[in-house]
């Protein structure tokens, strides 16, 4: 009897084991199928997004078609359309109508920008807003003299920057840039290309700031396609997480990771000196006062020689334009009076209008950006003094009656402190 029960028990166990194996197979088969399905969907979405975002061939074709018809001309046109020595590289676009690519042009490597849509002015969002129609390149019109074009450029600059004593010199510089083939005269197609890129505030502000080496150099342009030099290192904090991970990594961990990927302290001090010099140059600068309305580390990079570059000039706005915009804003509280990421004024509750004076100057925001960057790894002999000066800098207020004096004093003290530490090193 016992012997008869053994096979029956064995059969039951065998059946149970086989059923478990079958269930596991079905489970893993389902999971494999689900993985393949999800992966295929992700690949399809990524490919669709890429083909929608990356339309450099369309941009090149549109520009070269107008160049060959004699509508536009510029320093990059022949290399792009005839010689084909200006190449599009890796796509960096994040909006379909604002094409951004790495590029190479002879011995230069750079970043190519090409607009497939109308450019929004002084828009501090991630990218300019898209447009529906391609530019007509109809200004200046046929028969316009060089002198008339000079007046057009002067009026445009005055509208953007306000009344400045040095505008005539800036106009002359722009006309020299317009002469792309260096034949000593400005042709109508060249003037049309220049007029097109001057409508893009990031190009104009880049031209203003590149004189002191704060922005990537403009290498050339054709129509509203332009190429700037490539900044090899960025962002300022040395490491940018892949976009799928950004939303999953806490800010505190992100800040820690940022600090892992930074140069040695003397090199960080030299890069920081560059940011302080940028702030100094835009505060009552050659062409007026400018505000930097987003001093996030991601908008800055640096060269092989550890010289700072502002890589997103859209965050810079002339104070003339800032005041005009704020005057028109209605408000109920201070939080309603924000321009860009961090240019804020206060609300005049008696009139429900935003005041024109920014609450914090550029220097205070720059010191906030530099605080963790500079204090980590700072030499022990000057760390306490550096921390004290940085906090004094961050406490600056835009409504101070002695702002100019305080700004100058704090800026000079900070630069002197950093310079004393690096002046004897090879990094200086």
Tens of pLDDT, residues 159-212: 888 888 788 888 999 999 898 888 888 899 999 999 999 988 888 888 888 878
User: What's the confidence (pLDDT) of residue 34?
Assistant: 64
User: What's the confidence (pLDDT) of residue 264?
Assistant: 87
Q: Percent of the chain having pLDDT more than 70? A: 77
User: What's the confidence (pLDDT) of residue 119?
Assistant: 43
Q: Do residues 197 and 224 lie in contact, with contact meaning Cβ atoms separated by under 8 Å?
A: yes
Q: Is the pLDDT of residue 230 over 60?
A: yes
pLDDT mean over 283-310: 88
Mean pLDDT of the chain: 82
Q: Percent of the chain having pLDDT more than 90? A: 43
Q: How confident is the model at residue 229 (pLDDT cuts 50, 70, 90)?
A: very high
Q: Which of 11-20, 86-95, 165-174, 236-245 has the lowest mean pLDDT?
A: 11-20
Q: Do residues 186 and 228 lie in contact, with contact meaning Cβ atoms separated by under 8 Å?
A: no
- Domain 249-314+360-424: CATH architecture, name and number where available: Orthogonal Bundle (1.10)
Q: Do residues 129 and 123 lie in contact, with contact meaning Cβ atoms separated by under 8 Å?
A: yes
Higher pLDDT, 93 or 105: 105
Q: Is the pLDDT of residue 3 over 80?
A: no
Cα separation, 156 vs 201, whole angstroms? 11
Q: How confident is the model at residue 284 (pLDDT cuts 50, 70, 90)?
A: confident
Q: Do residues 234 and 111 lie in contact, with contact meaning Cβ atoms separated by under 8 Å?
A: no
Structural domain boundaries in the chain: 56-116+138-229, 249-314+360-424
User: What's the confidence (pLDDT) of residue 49?
Assistant: 45
Q: Is the pLDDT of residue 74 over 70?
A: yes
Q: Is the pLDDT of residue 244 over 70?
A: no
Give me the helices (H) in 232-330, please. Answer: 243-246, 251-260, 265-282, 319-328
């Amino acid at each position: 009897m016992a012997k008869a029960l053994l096979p029956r028990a064995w059969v039951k166990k065998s059946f149970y084991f086989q059923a478990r194996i079958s269930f596991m197979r079905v489970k893993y088969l389902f999971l494999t199928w689900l993985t393949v399905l999800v992966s295929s969907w992700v690949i399809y979405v990524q490919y669709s997004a890429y083909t929608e975002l990356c339309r450099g061939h369309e941009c090149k074709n549109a520009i070269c078609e107008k160049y060959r018809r004699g509508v536009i001309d510029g320093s990059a046109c022949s290399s792009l359309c005839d010689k084909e020595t200006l190449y599009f590289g890796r796509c960096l676009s994040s909006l379909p109508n604002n094409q951004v690519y790495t590029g190479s042009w002879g011995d230069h490597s750079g970043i190519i920008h090409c607009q497939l849509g109308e450019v929004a002015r002084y828009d501090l969002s991630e990218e300019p807003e898209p447009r529906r129609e391609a530019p007509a390149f109809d200004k200046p019109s046929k028969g316009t003299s060089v002198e008339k074009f000079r007046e057009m450029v002067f009026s445009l600059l005055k509208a953007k920057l306000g009344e400045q004593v040095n505008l005539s010199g800036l106009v002359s510089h722009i006309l020299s840039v317009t002469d792309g083939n260096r034949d000593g005269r400005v042709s109508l197609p060249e003037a049309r290309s220049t007029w097109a890129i001057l409508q893009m505030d990031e190009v104009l502000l880049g031209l203003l700031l590149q004189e002191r080496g704060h922005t990537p150099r403009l290498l050339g342009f054709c129509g509203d396609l332009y190429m700037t030099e490539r900044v090899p290192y960025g962002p300022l904090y040395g490491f940018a997480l892949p976009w799928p991970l950004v939303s999953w990594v806490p800010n505190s961990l992100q800040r820690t990771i940022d600090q892992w990927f930074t140069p040695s302290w003397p090199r960080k001090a030299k890069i920081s000196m560059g940011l302080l010099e940028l702030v100094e140059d835009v505060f009552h600068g050659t062409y007026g006062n400018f505000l930097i309305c987003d001093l996030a580390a991601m908008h800055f990079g640096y060269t092989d020689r550890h010289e700072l570059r502002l890589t997103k000039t859209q965050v810079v706005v002339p104070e003339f334009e800032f005041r005009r915009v704020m005057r028109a804003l209605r408000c109920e509280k201070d939080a309603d009076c924000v321009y860009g990421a961090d240019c804020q004024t206060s609300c005049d509750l008696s009139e429900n209008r935003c005041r024109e004076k920014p609450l914090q100057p550029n220097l205070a925001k720059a010191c906030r950006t530099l605080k963790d960057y500079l204090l980590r790894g700072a030499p022990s002999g000057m760390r306490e003094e550096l921390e004290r000066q940085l906090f004094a800098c961050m406490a600056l207020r835009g409504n101070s009656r002695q702002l100019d004096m305080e700004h100058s004093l704090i800026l000079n003290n900070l630069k002197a402190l950093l310079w004393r530490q690096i002046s004897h090193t090879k990094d200086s």
